[in-house]
A and B are shown apart, each in its own frame.
Chain A
């Protein structure tokens, strides 16, 4: 095995060829490897392994309390996993072990961005400022840690103009140009959701993690969200990992779906495979595998499941 060209830094490991996994993505951007997270006696996530394909939209689904958000929190450095590794490999071959990076480096170095179930915009800052905050790192560098910024040197002025242009492009894309200078907290809910995604994208992420982006959206806003996410995947090549309950979003846009129940992976495949998986249906209906057929008949779903009980 030849050594990779990627530079090695703190919390990075040498590149290795992606291990072949039957049915899994060939060139994963993120590999979650035997991840376990325990809170005292409660195992929120147990021995979870899955991969997120580069340039794919991957959905992480499961009933409430299945441990989806815990997985996100481990990926973005909020929790230190009890066991396991989370490996992110960038296109250049640089690999980061996310569970070892401090919070801000998950974004700065590994270039992972995320949103939360609840909206976490900076409500008192304007729409434009919310996006500019996300470009703090390049701006700070250009401003010589604010000195050039206070003095108004051209180097900072140019960086500032570039940042504003980029923010303006995103604001236009999400249709908020006319409200760019209003406090973000004054926007309607659906706009705030889209603004959060735009803000996350302003950090130039390679992996975008969205926690229930469609929660609370009406059907039209959900459709807009689908368009936005497809655009992010196709135009920017950003890989997306999302937690979602809205199956119209999940089934339409996902390239792959990973299903969790009680912290354990019960299925992993394409939307079509997941749609017909008995264990997934059982988990969502809240019954044992054997009773699926009976319950489906009761609720009028008979015939949709392939009925391949283990």
Chain B
């Protein structure tokens, strides 16, 4: 039971990170109906940006306040990654808008390959470690054989995800920008005729998605303490699976899907075999696509006549 509880906490943490990445997928898919396959690599890139700033702040400038370092790194990573997100949309996707459906998808795969190779060339192929930043743990339960703990890192990750989900849900449901986003999602031309700048709304969506990826990337670095150029692909695809599982286009669905994938993966590794954890995660993608293509919280696709 104690083992189960600990695995549950670990799973929720992993799931929170997947959920944050999945939010970016689901927002972009929601507004332009495109799977942004480069999103996982944007996440990886943001991890590297966080790593660089972390090392600058701690090794060169000698900052010691953990909270301060973390906040500065997070904000800088979000700003720079958002700029990347804007530039990628501007260069690789916007010129293809109005082209055939597969064009931006292929372009996204191209951006994904570009980003991972770019990071490999400029940062090297080896894993990049950072010294552990936060070590403290909260002991939740203890007996002779086993201790159930919730580390500060895990608490930070889960809280951040919950707060960002609430914030973005509010943004999409209750603000004028969110209404414009949903309007662009349902009928782009009509939205333009109502005075909404569609290009700017889409750009901002990419910027927000990239900023979310940066939060996930920073938390990932904080949690695992190591990142490599190839770390974008697998978490990216798993987050995509999470978005599909939760119902693509739905923000709470993305986080819910992330949590489910995180839990399944963790329990699978704990009770069965760690080698097959990815198989378990992707098996879900297949099962969901066959039996409930609209996902848990997604709206079923209504045939337009």
Binding site for B on A (CB under 8 A): 76, 78, 103-104, 106-108, 113-114, 116, 120, 122-125, 129, 132-137, 139-140, 143, 145-146, 149-150, 160, 199-200, 203
Q: How far is the CA of A154 from the CA of B132 in the complex (A)?
A: 43
CB-based nearest B residue for A76: B193
Residues of chain B from 190 to 211 with CB closer than 8 A to chain A in the complex: 190-198
Q: Which residue of A lies closest to B176 (CB)?
A: A139
Counting chain A CB atoms within 10 Å of each CB, which of B189, B193, B195, B299 scores highest?
B195
Nearest neighbor of B191 in chain A, beta-carbon distance: A133
Question: Do A133 and B180 have beta carbons less than 8 Å apart?
Answer: yes
On chain B, which size bracket covers the interface? 20 to 34
| A104/B182 in contact, CB under 8 A | no
Contact of A133 with B171 in the complex, beta carbons under 8 Å: no
Establish whether residues A136 and B186, one from each chain, have CB atoms under 8 Å apart when the complex forms.
Answer: no
A150 to B167, CA, bound (A): 8
Residues of A within 8 A of B226 (CB): none
Q: Given A143-B176, A149-B176, A150-B170, is A125 in contact with B198 using a C-beta cutoff of 8 Å?
A: no
**B residues in contact with A125, CB < 8 Å:** 179, 182-183, 186
- Closest A residue to B167 using CB positions: A150
For the complex, what is the distance from the CA of A137 to the CA of B201, rounded to whole Å?
12
Chain A, Cβ-Cβ closest to B180:
A136
State the B residues within 8 Å of A (CB).
Answer: 167, 170-171, 174-177, 179-180, 182-183, 186-187, 189-198, 299
- Best-buried of A113, A136, A199 by chain B (most CB within 10 Å): A136
Interface pair A133/B183, CB less than 8 Å apart: yes
Instruction: Check B183–A122 contact: CB distance below 8 A.
Output: yes
A113's contact among B170, B183, B193, by CB below 8 Å, is which? Answer: B193
Bound state CA distance, A146 and B190, in angstroms? 22
Give the chain A neighbours of B180 by CB distance below 8 A. 133, 136, 140
Residues of A within 8 A of B179 (CB): 125, 129, 132-133, 136
Closest to B179 in A: A133
Q: Are A136 and B176 in contact (CB under 8 A)?
A: yes
Q: 17 additional contacts, CB 8 Å, given A122-B186, A125-B179, A136-B183? A: A76-B193, A107-B192, A107-B194, A108-B195, A114-B193, A120-B187, A122-B183, A129-B182, A133-B179, A134-B195, A136-B179, A140-B177, A143-B175, A143-B176, A149-B176, A149-B177, A150-B170
Residues in chain B near residue A150, CB distance under 8 A: 167, 170-171, 175
Give the nearest-CB partner of A116 in chain B.
B190
Q: Which of B170, B175, B187 contacts A122 (CB 8 A)?
A: B187
Least Cβ distance of B62 to chain A in Å? Answer: 34
Report whether B189 and A103 are in contact in the complex, using a CB–CB cutoff of 8 Å.
Answer: yes
Chain A's nearest CB lies how many Å from the CB of B177?
4
B-side contacts of A200, CB under 8 Å = 194
- Name the B residues within 8 Å of A107 (CB-CB): 192-195
Cβ contacts A to B, 17 pairs, < 8 Å:
A76-B193, A78-B189, A104-B196, A107-B195, A113-B193, A114-B193, A120-B187, A122-B182, A122-B186, A124-B186, A125-B182, A133-B180, A137-B196, A140-B180, A199-B194, A200-B194, A203-B195
Q: Quote the shortest CB–CB distance from A157 to chain B (angstroms).
A: 12
In the complex, the answer to whether B194 meets A136 with C-beta atoms within 8 Å is yes
Q: Nearest CB to that of A104 among chain B residues?
A: B192
Chain A neighbourhood of B182, CB < 8 A: 122, 124-125, 129
Question: Given A123-B186, A124-B186, A125-B183: A132 and B299 within 8 A (CB)?
Answer: no
Expressed in whole angstroms, the minimum distance between the Cβ of A162 and any Cβ of chain B is 12
Closest to B175 in A: A149
A260 CB to nearest chain B CB (Å): 22
Q: How far is the CA of A66 from the CA of B295 in the complex (A)?
A: 46
Tell me how far the C-beta of A99 lies from the nearest C-beta in chain B, rounded to whole angstroms: 15
Contacts of B299 in A (CB 8 A): 124
